[in-house]
Amino acid sequence: MSTDYRQMWADMGLDLEAHDALLGVLGQGYGDIYMAQKNRPEGMAYFDFVMSEVHGLRIQELLDEKKAGRKIIGSYCVFVPEEIALAANATLVGLCSGADFAMEEVEKLLPRNTCALIKSAFGFKLGKVCPYLESADMIVGENTCDGKKKAYESLGSLIENLYVMDLPQVKSAQGRELLKAEYIRFKEAVENLTGVTITAESLSAAIETVNAKRKAMHRLALLRKADPAPISGLDALLANQVFFYDNPARFTASVNKICDEVEQRIAAQEGVFAGKTPRILISGCPQAVPNWKLPMIVEGSGAVIVGEESCVGERGTRNLTDNSGKTIDEMIEALVDRYFQVDCAIFTPNKERIDHIKEMAKLYKADGVIHYGLQFCQPYLMEAIPVEKALEDIGLPCLRIETDYSMEDMGQLKTRVEAFIEQIS
Ligand code: SF4
Ligand code: SF4
């Protein structure tokens, strides 16, 4: 980090000692992925900088925004519409929850067999280590899986500004009505928070901003069809992770710049891995910062990741919002249409997700799929079985992995991944 931010962190109420430990985990993890890669696109230097300033400059920017009267909203799920926050002059940041922290304290509030993402959200709060969480004026939880729903009941006692959004579990007409009603309720809550009334103009501009960000990510995703792979899965995941907390316009410009460079690489047949390197699609639970465990193993074992069917990936970014509406009502309808397509495993039935995995595998010419499930995540672990079956039916090998954030199973995972890569080579 270029400046000493210790006073800023202390003023935010962070536990400096615990925070140093978290920075150590982040630095070590990022150092490993940085060292593991060769011939990265030059444009990735921007993301290296953003990562190095993830608790520094970006937090300073958010605090400056707050001083200027803007509100910060933290979210744990891709169902929380950034468009509504932006339209009311607020900034939405994703709360990463990608590392174990303060687990002893966490397990006093949550059963041990809770998924690592939920535990991490609690650990970051209890350990006082997350400057995003501490700078937020409102934190949005959402009723997705049972684990999250019940956990928010306890998280509410730790976070006074927790707002819980209800979400449908079935893609029915009633489900869509519920989502619409919840987005209208969220719009009102955000307007109350900011004191800014959303107008058709501000909502349309916000939709445009978020569409541009998603369009850039989709452009990058499609370039990964090329062989040799012009960008590693680790770098693409990093861009997907930074998507959640960077300034939207700056992020879009940076991703588009990388895409320009990647297009030149493809034209020159230049890659980060040799041509015909085994190609893997990752599908399943979100991989939040600094959870780089699986891609480190895969790309360190002679394969390249060509896509992420995940909320930190294409499930979260692929669909755009129709911005042709003229009224707020029409735009809310368009937002509901867009977000109702997110095929999270909390939905039942959820055939769309299986179809999307098959589509992605074909589009990105994957030789195999690794289904990434977090231990104790019922929705994704249960869905992994029909996913594997559907892929087997089309002759595509699938490896089901169940893990957490600890490094204890690294050796065992590596052995399984290496055997899988040998099988698909
Ligand atoms: S996996 Fe489901 S619950 Fe988790 S962020 Fe994605 S949509 Fe939300
Ligand atoms: S990983 Fe699974 S259990 Fe954990 S929050 Fe997401 S859907 Fe829920």
Question: Do 280 and 366 reside in the same domain of the chain?
Answer: yes
Question: Do 173 and 210 reside in the same domain of the chain?
Answer: no
Q: Whose CA is nearest to atom 3 of ligand 1?
A: 144
Q: Which of 166, 199, 232 is the last residue of a domain?
A: 199
Question: Do 287 and 410 reside in the same domain of the chain?
Answer: yes
Q: Which atom of ligand 1 is nearest to the CA of 344?
A: 2
Residue 117 beta carbon below 6 angstroms from any ligand 2 atom: yes
Question: Do 167 and 259 reside in the same domain of the chain?
Answer: no
Q: Which of 115, 144, 167, 381 to mutate to test the pocket of ligand 2 (most atoms within 8 A of CB)?
A: 115
Q: Which of 199, 233, 248 is the last residue of a domain?
A: 199
The list of the chain residues with pLDDT below 50 reads: none
Residue 117 beta carbon below 6 angstroms from any ligand 1 atom: no
* pLDDT computed for residue 38 by the predictor: 87
Torsion of CA 169, 170, 176, 179, to 10 degrees: 0
Question: Do 242 and 122 reside in the same domain of the chain?
Answer: no
* pLDDT computed for residue 91 by the predictor: 98
Question: Do 99 and 232 reside in the same domain of the chain?
Answer: no
| Structure tokens belonging to residue 207 | 């939709």
Residue 56 beta carbon below 6 angstroms from any ligand 2 atom: no
Question: Do 35 and 111 reside in the same domain of the chain?
Answer: yes
Number of domains in the chain: 2
Ligand 2 midpoint to CA 374 (Å): 7
Residue 339 lies in a domain: no
Residue 344 beta carbon below 6 angstroms from any ligand 2 atom: no
CATH code of residue 397: 3.40.50.11900
- 94 φ, ψ (degrees, to nearest 5): -80, 140
Question: Do 183 and 260 reside in the same domain of the chain?
Answer: no
Q: At what angle do helices 233-242 and 200-223 cross, to 10 degrees?
A: 170
* pLDDT computed for residue 33 by the predictor: 86
Question: Do 348 and 281 reside in the same domain of the chain?
Answer: yes
In this structure, the number of other CB atoms found within 10 A of the CB of residue 8 comes to: 17
Residue 394 lies in a domain: yes
Question: Do 301 and 186 reside in the same domain of the chain?
Answer: no
Residue 338 lies in a domain: no
Residue 331 lies in a domain: no
* pLDDT computed for residue 2 by the predictor: 61
At 200-240, the pLDDT tens digits run 999 999 999 999 999 999 999 999 999 999 999 999 999 99
Question: Do 94 and 216 reside in the same domain of the chain?
Answer: no
Q: What is the pTM of this model?
A: 0.96
330-336: long-range contacts (C-beta < 8 A, 24 or more apart)? Answer: 331/200, 331/203, 331/204, 331/207, 332/180, 332/183, 332/184, 332/187, 333/180, 334/207, 335/81, 335/83, 335/84, 335/183, 335/207, 336/176, 336/179, 336/180, 336/183
Q: Which of 82, 143, 144 to mutate to test the pocket of ligand 1 (most atoms within 8 A of CB)?
A: 144
Domain hosting 36: range is 6-199
Question: Do 168 and 38 reside in the same domain of the chain?
Answer: yes
Residue 337 lies in a domain: no
Q: Which of 152, 182, 199 is the last residue of a domain?
A: 199
Question: Pairing mode, if any, of strands 162-166 and 138-143?
Answer: parallel
At 30-82, the pLDDT tens digits run 998 888 888 999 999 999 999 999 999 999 999 999 999 999 999 999 999 99
CATH code of residue 167: 3.40.50.11890
